[in-house]
Chains A and B, each alone.
Chain A
Amino acid sequence: MKKQMNKVLRQTEFWVFLIIIFLALIIQARSGAFFANNNIVDIMRSMICPSLYAVCALLAFVSTGPDVSFPLVAALSSYLAITISIKINYDGPWFVVYLIGMFFGALMGALNGFIIVKYKFPSLIVTLGTSSLFSGILLGTFEAARMDLPATLQRFAELSLLTVKNEKTGLGSTLPMTFLILVAVYIAAYLVLNYTMVGRGVYAIGGDEISAERAGFNVKKIRFGIFVVNGMIASIAGLCYAVMSMRYLPNEYAGGEMVVIAAIILGGTRMTGGIGTLKGCILGTLLLTMVTNSLILVGISVYWQKVFIGAIIIIGTAIPAIQSIFGKNKGKKVKGGEAA
């Protein structure tokens, strides 16, 4: 029992969870509006895209290293999916548009994966480079501009999963269907990561590449696969963003990567690889979304939000460092005791 308790205490996720509760209570106490139904739905809604990106960032960090290309993969692949659907006057089921997007996302991810696996270049440099490339193609070659969605996506966008209305303030909020996509992606990712050997391979590679190879994991295939999957998830996120905005906005994608990476690091993902959970992704994203969404309820200005986000990131990333120092000291004591 005590052992289990210790284990929980050592998990970063647990501490992030505590911070979330604490912050929620403070906001509730100050504004009385945090636990209002429309605020909760708002937060859930705002979490959809960052949480999808977080899976990309998690897979890349755990197995290889940072991937910063997902916002641009999202932008370019959803542009292509939407443009093609409009050009051919497509009006079938909405998810076919997603499949087209995922196809292009997979291609872009494959480019990342190919360069990283084949030439062993650091993933940060490669994905920075391809980000630039994708951005050039999107805004230069295609001269992408704002545009309306194809009719099928428009209809999908107008569906809602849940609509609430705050009795006191009269403010309403809607949870879009894209929330179900998020849930589906997380369930799939959870099952693959925990219950398939390929999923365990993602962690094994991050722990020790050479050991993984000796154990019989196909390191190159898994790594390449991760970037392809990342491309597909990014394209899903990109289309979800367009659906939730009711139009395609090419300039709104770039720059989203840093907050997402910060969120998963907060959630306990280790920058050096091998460690990180989906639970951590959700918690980290939730915490940052709460700060951006709800601090305004307490009357903190938008500019100060950034200060808060910065502070939370620094404190959050310091937790594992403090834990490891604490852990080391404990180790030393044991050793000394043995020698004496």
Chain B
Amino acid sequence: MENILSVKGIKKSFGGVHALKGVDLTIRKGETHCLAGENGCGKSTIIKVISGFYKPDGGTIEVDGRDYPVMTPADAIKAGVQVIYQDFSIFPNLTVIENLAFNQVLANGKKFVNKKEFRKIAEEAVAKINFNVDMDALVETLPVADKQLIAISRALLDNAKLIIMDEPTTALTKKEVKRLFEIIADLKKNGITILFVSHKLDEVFEISDSITILRSGENVISCPASEMTEEKFAYYMTGRHFDNQELADNKKRTYGEEVLSVENLSAPGFEDISFKLHKGEILGVTGQLGSGRTELSLSLFGLNRPTAGRIMVEGKEAKLTDVSKAEELGIALVPEDRLTEGLFLPQSIIKNITVTRFDALAGRLGFIREDSLVEESAKWVKELGVATKNHEFPVQTLSGGNQQKVVLAKWLANNPKILILNGPTVGVDIGAKYDIHKLLHKLAADGMAIIVVSDDTAEVIATCDSAIVMHDGRITGILEKEDLTEAKLAEAAI
């Protein structure tokens, strides 16, 4: 088969930092090719080179058999290369019609608006993927998945031959991901090549024909997807060996006394939930989006007031009416959306880690002693292996995995008895994910009781001693360690 895209020896550096050190990427016509790699491996840079937004320092670009000594964004579009960015490049304040039609109208050099023509273009676009949407709706009122479909149908309008999707599943629910994959399959049938950028194992295996992995700006491997295994994939991405099974097997089941007992608890979002949690135990709470798992975690942290049942902490009934009560009892929650709920992004790493400790670290008059903050934060940065050169840097400069470590550090600094983590590794790359799982095991071994709320079954299997499965606000299964398998978890979730 011919190649739709062949780039060789692409080099690109920014102010002395080599983002790409001679990357090759060859994509055959009509295939779905996956480009994988951890954050900062150069994925985004190579996409921008291919789409003409960056001028490479060296290397050749060939699209559909034609050489491009200089590639501009307009050249790329003419050659049939379209990028679906993570933000979809849409205008939330404008209608679906305008979002779909702008690119083409501008490309044709038109100066005036012809509403009929706009509608025609838009209708042609959505017809390509059988996408049903209110054409006159403002895009900001649509769900994320629809915004993505707008971006895809718009890309198809320009006679796209190669569509590059930059982490397209990040903000989608499972159902939406499924629909996206169906669309990708359809596009493939119509001879359109897809470059799928992702670091999510399961998706990569499900969708792609071949895989290219980058690490720190260099090619690691390119091979058919059939020759790739999960272990190899993780190894090539990070250069480290991980074994989730080993991780799961190594976890010792040594419990201490009971620290938390939930009895017939009901609250908005769930009903009649009972379970017990012991010192040193890691309990999984799993279920699909909307199953009530998040609401349950909020109730245990005083953020979702129960309507019936009770919560016992260390044998005493606890009235968890607000967060400070929960904190007094030694309960900590690492929230689902760490960016909005768990971190002060523009603030320094030091301040983020020590924010829950200000009271304890303050001097006699209530003034905060800077040196004690630095000391405390340095301890945690070291303990959790946060990769940073300077603790004064704002948290937003860190990668997703390291941000998550800072959130963890913030709560661990308070030395909680019960640690609840909601989606602890959502959006975190594979290496940091493994580190976080190992850390959870270590914390449990030191006697902390942990609840992991997650829809990632692999995560539940790797970390938990037992798991409750929720569906529609109720418990539909309780699985012990030996029963924790993908199949049984899936079965219980329905």
Taking beta carbons and an 8 Å cutoff, which residues of A are in contact with B?
3, 7, 194-200, 203-204, 206-208, 210-212, 214-217, 270, 273-275, 327, 335-336, 338-340
Question: Quick check: B105 and A197 within 8 Å, CB to CB?
Answer: yes
The complex places the Cα of A215 from the Cα of B89 at a distance, in Å, of 8
Question: Quick check: B93 and A203 within 8 Å, CB to CB?
Answer: yes
Chain B residues within an 8 Å CB radius of A7: 136
Residues 87-144 (chain B) with a chain A CB within 8 angstroms:
87-94, 98, 102-103, 105-107, 110-113, 134, 136, 141
User: Nearest Cβ in chain B — how far from A6, in angstroms?
Assistant: 11
Question: Quick check: A215 and B102 within 8 Å, CB to CB?
Answer: yes
Report the nearest A residue to B85, measured CB to CB: A214
- Taking chain B's interface residues, is the majority helix, strand, or loop, or is none over half, making it mixed? loop
Chain A residues within an 8 Å CB radius of B113: 194-197, 199-200
Question: Quick check: A207 and B93 within 8 Å, CB to CB?
Answer: yes
Question: Quick check: B290 and A208 within 8 Å, CB to CB?
Answer: no
On whether A275 and B89 interact (CB within 8 A), knowing A196-B111, A200-B98, A327-B141, the answer reads no
- B90 partner, pick from A3, A208, A217, beta carbons under 8 A: A208
- A210 partner, pick from B87, B110, B112, B291, beta carbons under 8 A: B87
Question: Quick check: B111 and A214 within 8 Å, CB to CB?
Answer: no
The complex places the Cα of A210 from the Cα of B88 at a distance, in Å, of 10
Report the nearest B residue to A7, measured CB to CB: B136
The complex places the Cα of A71 from the Cα of B98 at a distance, in Å, of 34
The complex places the Cα of A40 from the Cα of B389 at a distance, in Å, of 69
**22 contacts across the A-B interface (CB closer than 8 A):** A194-B113, A195-B113, A197-B111, A200-B98, A204-B98, A207-B91, A207-B93, A207-B94, A210-B89, A211-B87, A211-B89, A211-B91, A215-B102, A215-B103, A216-B107, A217-B102, A217-B106, A273-B93, A274-B92, A336-B290, A339-B289, A339-B290
Residues 148-175 (chain B) with a chain A CB within 8 angstroms:
none
Chain A residues within an 8 Å CB radius of B288: 339
User: Nearest Cβ in chain B — how far from A274, in angstroms?
Assistant: 3
Question: Quick check: B92 and A208 within 8 Å, CB to CB?
Answer: yes
Question: Quick check: B106 and A198 within 8 Å, CB to CB?
Answer: no
B218 within 8 A of A: no
Chain A residues within an 8 Å CB radius of B141: 327
User: Nearest Cβ in chain B — how far from A51, in angstroms?
Assistant: 23
Chain A residues within an 8 Å CB radius of B110: 197
User: Nearest Cβ in chain A — how far from B115, in angstroms?
Assistant: 9
B472 within 8 A of A: yes
- A212 partner, pick from B91, B105, B134, beta carbons under 8 A: B91
Chain B residues within an 8 Å CB radius of A198: 111
Chain B residues within an 8 Å CB radius of A194: 113
